[in-house]
Structure 1
Amino acid sequence: MAVRWLSAFLDFSHEDFSNEVTFWRAIAGSTVSPARGAHREFASLEPFNGDPHLRVQRVDSGDGGVHLDLHVDDVSESVSHATTLGATIVSKNPEVVVLHSPGGFSFCLVPWHGESERSRPIRWPGDTISIIDQLCIDVPAAGFDTECDFWAALTTWPWRQGISPEFRNLRRPPEMPLRVLLQRVGSDHIGGHLDLASTHPEEEVARHEGWGATVVEHHRFWTVMADPIGRRYCITHRNPRSGNLSG
């Protein structure tokens, strides 16, 4: 199975969809594509250059969350591969198969339509450069090793140890727009969040606060933020072009 492209999907409730798309469009420095889908429930956050890797969806129930789309040449073959590795099928239609990882994280296998050009980071006033470039899967400790091995086998990208024992990341090919990070957490519920790489995190935090985000907590290399409805994400001190830690 060859993963040709990755997309992170932000899933929003009906009530929050419009305001949340406005917030995430603003901090990504993107425009929004025309709505698509049977109920106009999907859209892409379009970068000013390159192919989109951030997408939004209006969901019928629940508060939403974040999931990963893997774009592949042959969906049926990839589904067989994923289920052999321990994934379970949630739903199918001709364009998308929704699955759960062994730990229960939602992801989709979708056809590849030729996406290949990574978008470049945005340069903001004040000379800060940033990009939303990472999806972090937050994994309960008991299933952490199994989940890391599953994603490495599914993508064929080996995992490597992060800056501390609770982090591992997949070695993505250079053309991939998203990094995949796995974090061992104390919760018993698997989840996920997006990470943003920035050259000047303090300035980035201030800009996000101006759009309605709030600071949850500071760490050495990252700041945990909450968007206007409380959805958490991180502003990280990483090189926006390479994805590597800075400082």
Structure 2
Amino acid sequence: MHRIMLREVIIDAPSADIDAVTSFWAAALAATPHPVPGEPYVALRGAASLPQVATQDIGDDPVPRFHLDIETDDLEAEIARLEGLGATVRARFGTYAVLTDPVGLLFCLLPPESEEFALRSATVGG
């Protein structure tokens, strides 16, 4: 048994479009953009949203997309559970992993970082 929680919706955009995408989504969600130092992310603080929202510069990749970040307190158990549901691991980076769902949509598994994790996460596995 372990815990999971959808933490964030990430709006991925090519470098050439990241400023326009960030401006659009900040205005659309009544948020204030805050670049994350040393990261390709811009947090959209105060967004009219239950999960956090951010934009991400995906460099030269020409395909804009959305992806989800899911926190888990047991990365290995959650990878195994999701693979059993049809997910595929695309990359692993120490404490987090990039996966795709059965139709190829990207999402990430991350360790718990949110203050809300203890209160809002759900127990899964068994």
Per-residue CA deviations over 1:80-121 (Å, capped at 9, x if unaligned) read xxxxxxxxxxxxxxxxxxxxxxxxxxxxxxxxxxxxxxxxxx
In structure 2, what residue type is equivalent to 1:179? Q
Which residue of structure 1 aligns with residue 9 of structure 2? Answer: 135
Structure 2 distance, partners of 1:150, 1:179, is 16
So what's the TM-score if we normalise by structure 2? 0.76
> Does the 8 Å contact 1:199/1:239 carry over to 2?
no
So what's the TM-score if we normalise by structure 1? 0.42
Q: 1:182 aligns with which of 29, 34, 55?
A: 55
> Does the 8 Å contact 2:75/2:95 carry over to 1?
no
- Structure 2 residue runs without a partner (length 5+): 118-126
Structure 2 distance, partners of 1:212, 1:166, is 29
1:155–1:231 distance in 2 versus 1, CA, 3 Å: closer
Structure 2 distance, partners of 1:160, 1:198, is 25
Which residue of structure 2 aligns with residue 228 of structure 1? Answer: 102
In structure 2, what residue type is equivalent to 1:230? G
Partner secondary structure for residue 76 of structure 2: helix
Number of residue pairs the alignment of both structures matches: 116
Q: CA deviation at 1:153?
A: 2.5
Structure 2 distance, partners of 1:130, 1:239, is 12
> Does the 8 Å contact 2:30/2:46 carry over to 1?
no
- Structure 1 residue runs without a partner (length 5+): 1-124
Structure 2 distance, partners of 1:129, 1:202, is 12
1:54-203 alignment runs, 5 A limit: 125=1, 128-162=2-36, 164-172=38-46, 176-185=49-58, 186-203=60-77
Q: CA deviation at 1:241?
A: 4.9
> Does the 8 Å contact 1:199/1:240 carry over to 2?
no
Q: CA deviation at 1:220?
A: 4.0
Q: CA deviation at 1:240?
A: 5.3
More relative contact order, 1 or 2 (CA 8 Å, 6+ apart): 2
Q: 1:237 aligns with which of 108, 111, 114?
A: 111
Q: CA deviation at 1:225?
A: 0.5
Structure 1 distance, partners of 2:98, 2:78, is 12
> Does the 8 Å contact 1:215/1:226 carry over to 2?
yes
Structure number with larger C-alpha Rg? 1
Partner secondary structure for residue 54 of structure 2: strand
Which residue of structure 2 aligns with residue 207 of structure 1? Answer: 81
1:190–1:157 distance in 2 versus 1, CA, 3 Å: same
Which residue of structure 2 aligns with residue 60 of structure 1? Answer: none
